[in-house]
Structure 1
Amino acid sequence: MTNHTRAHGKAYLVALAGSALVLSACGNTNAGGGGGGGGEDGDFEPTGNVRMIVPFAAGGGSDIAGRATAAGFEDASGVTITVENIEGGSSAVGYSNFLGENGNPNVLLATETALIAVPITQDVEYTYEDFTPIMMLGQDFTLLVVKDDSPLQTCADLVEKAESERTVIGISGATGLDNLVFSLLENETGVELDRVPFESGAELLTALLGGQVEVISTNPGEVAGQIESGDVRPLCAASEERYDYDLLADVETAAEQGIEGIAVAQFRGVLAPGGITDAERDYWIGIGQEFEESEAYTSYIEDNMMQPNTAYGDDFTAVLAENDETVGSILEDQ
């Protein structure tokens, strides 16, 4: 099995020093009473089809996560789970739609850092506390990448260029992990970057390849094919350590290039609506635990070069609370 780069120490968005993740990273946890399939009284089973909402366009990391999770939960439960992309507003439209499903255990949502960032930066009617955390799948760091013909070779080159001339970067919405990485880079180095927002990671990559932007920050799973083909090239990894995956083993971290403080990971996970019963929550936690033990889960993590740090139920809620505090502090510095 391929080794994984593990988040630790001062990684911003999901600190392994936090008690919730320390517990969950050691194996499966029945967080807050979360357990096997039937819940407290064994009296819940989904009726009819289940929907998995992805609050971003098809093709990006969130879409990949949502479809992998839907397939894994479907195999574990025997229930048909269909994926529905509801994009717009840097995920706000999808989450707002999900808010309207309060009390409905037959709808799930593929979540990530926008769950925390959007309510901090936009006037929306929800926060993470309005939903029911089920499972954190793992963590996802980013790479800063350019087209292969770019004159930039490192992230230090990017900073040097931005110190003297306009430098255009692409971001997938104002609240995505990539924007947080670039904000930390600006805070650390004092440069200013010109942002062009897009609705998804797929659109972001298209813009880079088309020459609309010079640099993007993206999850490895979204760009691995283009790195293999030679169409794009990493400048550095915004991670604590180098990746152990063969494709990225030679990519230096930003810290190795003299840029500290931008190692940042986002969580990927699954939510149920607020207002569901304990039995309904526990059923889905049990399905998530079954998924974690499957080859499909291992393949998802390794194919997307992620870190398999899981958390369930109340442990996942604690991770979200830590993220809320940390992301808020990053965005306040913009």
Structure 2
Amino acid sequence: MNNTHLPRHLLTLDGLPFDALDALLTRAQAFADGHYDRRALDGIAVCTLFFEPSTRTRMSFTLAAQRLGADVLNFDASTSSTRKGETALDTLKNLEAMGVRGFVIRHHEDGAVAALSQHVELGTALVNAGDGRSAHPTQGLLDMLTLRQAKGHDFSKLKVAIVGDVKHSRVARSDLQALRTLGTGEIRVCGPASLLPNDGTLDGCVVSHDLDAALDGVDAAMMLRLQRERMEEGLVASLDDYHREFGLTAQRLTRAAPDAVVMHPGPINRGVEITDEVADGPQSLILRQVSNGVAVRMAVLEALLRG
């Protein structure tokens, strides 16, 4: 792909031009179809530098780098010198000194990856694999690829509902940015008032606290994880109450368009955000999202590190 439209690092989808986003999706689709060079990143070292737990994101980045021929190092904060007080920057700079040129970074602090990007050498590329509640750009890309496979390239005809804990969701923010860039016809956001941000994130969206109304005629329902670690803050009365008001059931799904699709970034709290019947049902694209994650991350690594 032509990477002249891409920034040096992939930190966010906010401000990423349509042509760059479209090119990444097109390249990722080629990878999903099995068309790629297994030596594209031969001799390049990539490190998954994760300061937070991860299953899908970390494993798919590892597979993506390996399939392109990169040397992959997996960093585990729990067994590293960070336990002795080493900073994230010192960790990165030491690995960079060993010759690592690609860093896939997850961090609990907002803006942490962008801050680290200010201190790396020319030729080193960073990918934000999720920072705080700010951004998760490759999740946004894989969600768009999955939606495009199901509904076609013209997003202007689509009605998409994002449901749940948007306030704490870096996934939701990246999805919203990508949906806007792709010209989505109508973006609906639904959740309890305590879980919806009031910082401009939802500008231009149709905001609702009524899931039945939000689902009427939608082409896609993008469910979000209810972040149980936030429950101590009293953001919802109980998990049962949340499921009753905002959980996606088979009955509720009948309000959507007949060919509507269901998505979820994982991990799923079954019986809370979504029932088993829906998560494992014929309209669910949840496992396709996981599969597409490898292809999207291949596209991103190739674009940033090749050449």
Q: Same fold (TM over 0.5)?
A: no
TM score, norm. by length of structure 2: 0.39
Tell me which of the two structures has the higher relative contact order, counting C-alpha pairs closer than 8 angstroms and 6 or more residues apart.
1
TM score, norm. by length of structure 1: 0.36
